[in-house]
Every structure is written in C-alpha cells, then in structure tokens.
Amino acid sequence: MEWPDRARFVSGFRRRGAYVLSGAPRAGEPVIDRSAFEIAPWAIVERSLRLDRLATSESVFALSNGHIGLRGNLDEGEPHREPGSYLNGFFEALPLPYAEPGYGYPEEGQTLLNVTNGKLVRLLVDDEPFDVRYGTLERHKRVLDLRDGVLRRDVMWTSPAGQAVRVRSTRLVSFVQRAIAAVCYEVEAIGAPARIVVQSSVVANEPTIVHGEDDPRSAAALRGALVCEYHTARDSEVAMGHRARVSGLRMAAALDHVIDGPEGTVSSAESETDLARVTVSTELAPGRTLRVVKLLAYGWSAERSMPALRDQVDAALSAARRTGWDGLLAAQRAYLDTVWEHADVEIDGDPELQQAMRFAIFQIVQAAARAENRAIPAKGLTGRGYDGHTFWDMDTYTLPVLTYTTPDAARDALRWRHSTLPLARARAAQLHLRGACFPWRTIRGEECSGYWPAGTAAFHVNADIADAVRRYVSATGDTAFERDVGVEMLVETARLWASLGHHDAEGGFRIDGVTGPDEYTALCDNNTFTNLMAARNLRSAASAAERHPERAAALGVDGEEIAKWREAAGAIVVPFDTELGVTAQCDGFTRFRRWRFEDTPPDAYPLLLHFPYYLLYSSQVVKQADLVLALFLCGEEMTLEQKRRDFEHYEAITVRDSTLSASIQGVVAAEVGHLELAYEYFRETALVDLRDIAGNTADGLHLAALSGAWLVAVAGFGGMRDQGDVLAFAPRLVAPMTRLAFHLLMRGRCIRVDITPHDARYELRSGDPIELEHHGERFTLEHDASRLMPCPVREQVPTVAPPAGREPFRRGAGADAHRRVGRG
C-alpha cells in the first residue's frame, strides 16, 4: 500500500475549507511548559507576560457565567489575538455552499459573533498610551481566582517618557446578576505627578480572527456583522443597540461608572454608531489613585424589540448600581462557596493535577451556571473555535458533571434541547425518518454540519441526549421534568431508532450506515456504541411511557409501540469477533487493513490532515474512544474480563486525534486494572489547556476534555457507575495520588467519597439514608454517618501501550514532549 502525498493533500484540504470544520490544530504552535502558570491549589497565576502565549492566555483567563463570555484580553484591548465578547446563542447565519449539493444537506450555517466589546479600558499617562509593547513593563501578574470567581491583574509600567504607574484591575462576570459584568480599574502614580486619562469604551465590529485563512464564508459573515440601531451617552452612562445583519438577532449593551479620584477629576461621555465611551481625566500626585468601577450590562433576543432590550439593560445596570462593586464581589464569592461545597475534587500527591482539576470544574461551572435554556458550546464562551457550536460533547461529557454537582444547570441544558424538538422533528422528516433527529452541531437547533459521513450520519447524538435525560431523572428524582420534558424527548428519539433500524432475517435489530464516535470509521453497519445506546434509549422510552401513561397517550404512544421498542432493544446486534475474542467496533471492523503506525511520522498527526478519508475509513485506526466509550457507558452489558480484552485491543489502535478520547480511555483503563495508564490519561485531559497539549487552546478551552477530567476522577478512580438501580462505586488509586475525595448530589442528598490506596470512606452530608454499592457489596448510608470500606488488593495485569508515538502526555513533560490532537 502506497501512502499518498501528504503535503499535497493537506494543502488542498485547507484550501477547500475543511480545515476550518475539522477544528484540528495548526502545526508549529507551542505547548505551554510548567513555568507558564504558577502551581497553586485555588488559582491560576501568571507572573510574566509572554506575547507569544497571549492567545492561549486569553482562553485560560476567560470569564463567563454561561450567558456572557469575556475572553481574557488585556484591559487595554491591545495587543490581542481575538477580542472576544460573546453572548450565548447570539450568532450570525452564513451559507453552506457545496461543490456537489445533495438532498438533505443543510443550506445555512451559524457562527458565534464577537459582540460589542464592553471590557475595554484604555489608559493614557502624560499623553502616552499604556501599551505593554512600549515603555518598560516592570512587573506583571494575573491571577484567575477560582474561589472568588474574578480575574485580577497587577502591573507596574514605566512609559517611554519615564513616568511610572501601577495599574490594578479586577474583572468579573456575575453568577448572581446574570446580565452583568464589571471591572474595577485603579491607576496609581509612582515617583512623580502624572496626568491620567482613562477611557472606558464599548466597541462594535472589531476586526476578529477568521478560523481558516481561506474560508470566505466566515470572513464575509464576520465583517461588519452588527448593524447599529441606537446609541446614547449621558453623564457616566453610555449604551448601544445592534442587530446581526443576516440572522436578525438583536442585542444591547450599556455601561455605567462609579468614579473615585482626587479633586478636579472630570468625566465626559460620547457615542457614535460603533463606539461609545466615558472619558475620565485627572492629575495624580505620587501615591494617589484614580479608581473607576465599570458596570457592564448585556441583553439579546430573537423576538423582543430594541426598546425592550434597551429597557432590559438599563434595568440590569440599575440593579448592579444598587448592589455596588463590593456587593458584586461578595455575591460572587458566596455563589462559588456553595458550588465548591458539593463540586470540589481533592487530590493529594500531585499539586499540578489538583490545580488543573479545580480549573476544569470552574470552567464547567462558568460555561453552564446561568446559560438557562441555552446550549453549552464545545468551547464554552471562551473562544470561537468550532464557530461556537454545541455537539454531543455537551450531553455525554459535560452534563454528567453538572447532573451530580449543579443539577439545575443540567436541567436547563436539557430544556434547551427540548425547546429544539420542533426543528429535530422537521430534520427527521426531511431524512424520511420518524421521531426527532437532533443536530450534530448547532447553535440554535438547526443542523449546521455540511459533511455527512463524519457529521450528520453520527445519529448516536440522539441516544446521547436520551441518556442525559435518563441520568438526570435518575440522579434528581425530578418527576415533573420527566413528565413535562423527558418523556417527549425519550419517545421521539426512540421513534427515530425504530425507523432508522430494521430486523434482519435472523431476527436481530440492525442499525446500518451510521458513524459512531470514531470519525475515522464512517458510514458503518452496527456500530456497537450506537446500537447499545439506542437499545438503552428504547428501553428508557418504554419505561418512561409506562410511568407517565397520560403523557405518553398525548404523544400517541400505545402498548404496541412500546412492545416494539422493547423487542428492538432486546434484539440489538452487537458484532463480535470470535476468532480474536473481542467486540468489534462495527461489522467487519476487525477485518479492515491494519494501519502502519511504524511508518507514520510524528508530524503526520492528526491523520485527517495528512491522509485521505478513504484510507482512514477502511483501516483499523481509531480517532477517539468509540468501542471503549461503550465499555464505559454500557459496561453492564459485558464482563470485566471481556472489557479488559476489548480495551487492550483498541488501546493499540487508538491515536487520540481528538481531546475527547483521553478521559474515556482513562476511565476504562482504571476499571480494567491499567492504573498507571489511567493516571497518565487523567493528567492529559486535565492539563489539556493549562499546558496547551493540543496546541489549539488559543481558539477556546476544550470543555469536554475538562469535563472528562471529572469523569476520570469520579468514574475512573472512584469507579462510580449509575446504570443500575443503586449508585455503585469501585474505587482504586495509584501513585503518586495518595488520596482522592469528591462529592455527589443524589436525589437531594450530598454524598462524600474519600479514597486512599487501602480504603474508601462514604459520608452522607445531608439528606435521607441511601443505599450504595462498594465493589459489589451493598450497604445503607445513614445521615451524618460514615462508612469505611476496604479496597481490594489490586490485580496485576500485563502492560498495554497505545500506538508508537501516541503515548499520553506524561508527568514532567516539557515543551518538547507534547503530542498533537484534534477536535474536542
């Protein structure tokens, strides 16, 4: 077999714009070494400013509440890589052209817009603009405080003319007042008097990065996308309203200020089409400080008028003024204190992993806390990677974390999915299917993937959503949600599977021509993950319909349909290779050609950028956990020994060209006894952004991978499984970890699990007694009581390795030891 000319292929691939859709990293971007951020248990600390890492730090230091997202740009706005300010769900529409269009191809895409930027604070010192590229930056420190929920900055700068100033700022996006962000900006004169001017601005239509240099669709959509409908300035207040040129969505932004300076301080306000600002001018004696507190309100709507939006942001500002800066800070800390009480994961023995774990949880909370019936994008609101789209990542990776730590946020995300049911039904009808077909990638609910084999043929997204519904109801006991929302979602996804699959001559229920999680094996028959998840979907729908007969009847469900669902689930086809003794990822997979890993150089990954799809689709090479994901989510279908054989077989052919993979491989590696490997995968997924392991953190954080860190901790080393009638645990640890502790919320109870290498202590912090399972032994945990259970002696298993050159990111690895991964 001759390998294609990779250089020629990748050049053409990028010209066609597929590079943009893949989300793969650009070659040559640096990984971050351990010196970039100081290791601290509750903060991300940057003590020096590296302009070559500015793009990555903008993502790492981003603040969000799930409704508003502000990238961690410097306060002055420049230099920057992307001046990101985002509103969840606010997008521009763009065409999806095809060289050869086909029936059912989506005709329109959606891309997250950089909205009006209200975080800008420009500073002039004796008429010299404060710009870190000029003069002398004597000191620079930024701290993302994971307990207070703020970004702090402390800078000492000497202007080119020799005037020194100290600049301190604190930025927050409020978890409590959803529409509000705020900045406290302080300037102190050092050594000599200084004339100081602070300009607090809100700016629209800033130039922004187009992801994919040759993609004319994105460039056109982002150029002047916001059309001004009003602007106003008065005293210390300014406001602007815009609509997206094509999608027609409307938004408003308003600023107000509290100014504290020496006598003689003056201010003025002005506005025009795409700029509104308040200018504060004063003279500072040495040691004196000018303090400007900037309150920023955002609102948007697809339906309300601009006057209504204007009233909304004015009202939000009024409430924020009443609360005041100190009140906003106190409320932010109080909110996070409550979150950390039942979401913290404690790790002894690896301080860097502890920091990364808390960073991951914080980012999950930021992405979802106040999304409130909006989607959770794959990047959260930290960047425009993947055009701000939501994928199945949300339901399979992020919602399990939220379900057991912040269940209200999980419920809201599922309610958003439910709100898109009319669009999902229409899409299923377009594909000549029954029920609902949820989109592979979207912002508002329409399918935005223009590539059929590795995108919209991945029907498993429907079962992923159904499983998220099942898990949420099981974990919360929210029967009202199940009746009003869950039953309909389960029924419509079950109807999809009943029409998509068919019974073969042997009576098996087959689902053919689909793409599973492994996008390197497309349009296959009987993908094991898809089939097992579909079977669970069918059973869950049948049970929910029987629990809520009136609701089911209103949806047209009868006993015959329920019986057909159960029959299909019971007859689902799971391909198995009897010769190898392993479960096949899909029909015939174990008979595909073997990939020549020994002939694949390190710079040829991700493979999709260097080899044609026909070669990937016909080879035994796995982009990301697929069959292994089935071992985790549907593990009750297999014995431990079978799972071990399957894991070891697929570990040797999985290249992890996606950040979605390491966490799942880590979970299953821990379960089947490969604890050292699991620990390495734990670190890879947890440090994916703090160390920029994928080389593309600049485009936004990898929310699914960060969620995966929680999964490895709780489901991997904690061994938590929620598929049975009780919550089960099978904890196990490996050095250097000496202790792992976490909390779970379960039906109004707060459970704490504290694990050492030898035992696990279960404690019921609140709520009624609950039955749990520890390594197969059931016990009842009483309120305000704990139970110490021994962990079994570890079974020794032969070591297993990934393909050559695709080893996990190892502890202590420097900038020369990273490996590239793709989307996720």
Q: Tell me: the pLDDT tens digits for 636-681?
A: 999 999 999 999 999 999 999 999 999 999 999 999 999 999 999 9
Q: Does 813 score more than 60 pLDDT?
A: no
Residue 222 DSSP SS3: helix
- The pLDDT assigned to 207 comes to 81
Q: Does 12 score more than 50 pLDDT?
A: no
Any residues with CB less than 8 A from the CB of 180 and at least 6 apart, and which?
173, 174, 295, 296, 297, 316, 317, 319, 320, 328
Instruction: Report pLDDT digits (tens) over 552-576.
Output: 999 999 999 999 999 999 999 999 9
Which position has the token pair 């991964």? 821
Q: Does 4 score more than 70 pLDDT?
A: no
Query: Given 3.30.9.10, 3.30.1490.190, 2.70.98.40, 2.40.30.10, which CATH number is that of 41-97+105-342?
Result: 2.70.98.40
Residues 166, 656: Cα–Cα separation, whole Å = 46
Contact status, residue 495 vs residue 515, Cβ threshold 8 Å? no
Q: Does 216 score more than 80 pLDDT?
A: no
Instruction: Report pLDDT digits (tens) over 74-86.
Output: 999 999 999 999 9
- The pLDDT assigned to 24 comes to 35
- The pLDDT assigned to 210 comes to 53
Task: Say whether 624 counts as a known binding-site residue.
Answer: yes
Residues 725, 731: Cα–Cα separation, whole Å = 19
Beta strands in 371-470 (DSSP E): none
Strand partners, 774: 729, 777
Lowest pLDDT segment from 220-234, 634-648, 713-727? 220-234
pLDDT band at 26 (very low <50, low <70, confident <90, very high): very low
Lowest pLDDT segment from 263-267, 360-364, 663-667, 814-818? 814-818
Amino acid occupying residue 409:
A
- The pLDDT assigned to 522 comes to 95
Q: Which of 377, 386, 341 is nearest to 361 (CA)?
A: 341
Q: In the structure encoding, which two tokens stand for residue 231, read together?
A: 């602007």
Domains of the chain, by residue range, sit at 41-97+105-342, 366-723, 733-793
Task: Say whether 710 counts as a known binding-site residue.
Answer: no
Instruction: Report pLDDT digits (tens) over 734-754.
Output: 999 999 999 999 999 999 999
- The pLDDT assigned to 488 comes to 98
**How much is the mean pLDDT over the chain?**
92
* 733-793 shares the fold of 41-97+105-342: no
3-class secondary structure per residue, 251-301: EEEEEEEEEECCCCCEEEEEEECCEEEEEEEEEECCCCEEEEEEEEEEEEE
Instruction: Report pLDDT digits (tens) over 405-452.
Output: 999 999 999 999 999 999 999 999 999 999 999 999 999 999 999 888
Q: What is the pTM of this model?
A: 0.94
Q: In the structure encoding, which two tokens stand for residue 603, read together?
A: 């710079």
Q: Which CATH superfamily is domain 733-793 in?
A: Maltose phosphorylase, domain 3 (2.60.420.10)
Residues 342, 743: Cα–Cα separation, whole Å = 5
Cis previous bond, 606, omega within 30: yes
Sign of CA dihedral 745, 748, 754, 759: negative
Contact status, residue 458 vs residue 451, Cβ threshold 8 Å? no
- The pLDDT assigned to 810 comes to 77
Q: Does 28 score more than 60 pLDDT?
A: no
Task: Say whether 5 counts as a known binding-site residue.
Answer: no
Q: Which of 2-6, 293-297, 720-724 has the highest mean pLDDT?
A: 293-297
Sign of CA dihedral 206, 211, 215, 217: negative
Q: Does 547 score more than 60 pLDDT?
A: yes
Lowest pLDDT segment from 14-28, 239-253, 643-657? 14-28
Q: Does 3 score more than 90 pLDDT?
A: no
Q: Which of 268, 256, 322, 265 is nearest to 294 (CA)?
A: 256
Contact status, residue 491 vs residue 545, Cβ threshold 8 Å? yes
Q: Which residues are catalytic?
A: 519
- DSSP string over 89-114: T-EEEEE---SS--TT---EEEEE--
Q: Does 463 score more than 90 pLDDT?
A: yes
Instruction: Report pLDDT digits (tens) over 774-785.
Output: 999 999 999 888
Q: Does 215 score more than 60 pLDDT?
A: no
pLDDT band at 819 (very low <50, low <70, confident <90, very high): very low
* Domain boundaries 366-723, CATH class: mainly alpha
Q: Does 786 score more than 80 pLDDT?
A: yes
Beta strands in 643-757 (DSSP E): 727-729, 739-746, 749-755
Angle between helices 703-711 and 675-686 (to 10 degrees): 150
Instruction: Report pLDDT digits (tens) over 30-63.
Output: 467 777 899 999 999 999 999 999 999 999 999 9
The share of the chain scoring above pLDDT 90, in percent, equals 87
The C-alpha angle with vertex 320 and arms to 314 and 322, in degrees rounded to 5, equals: 105
Contact status, residue 554 vs residue 492, Cβ threshold 8 Å? no
> Phi and psi of 749, rounded to 5°?
-110, 150
Task: Say whether 300 counts as a known binding-site residue.
Answer: no
Q: Does 217 score more than 70 pLDDT?
A: no
The share of the chain scoring above pLDDT 70, in percent, equals 93
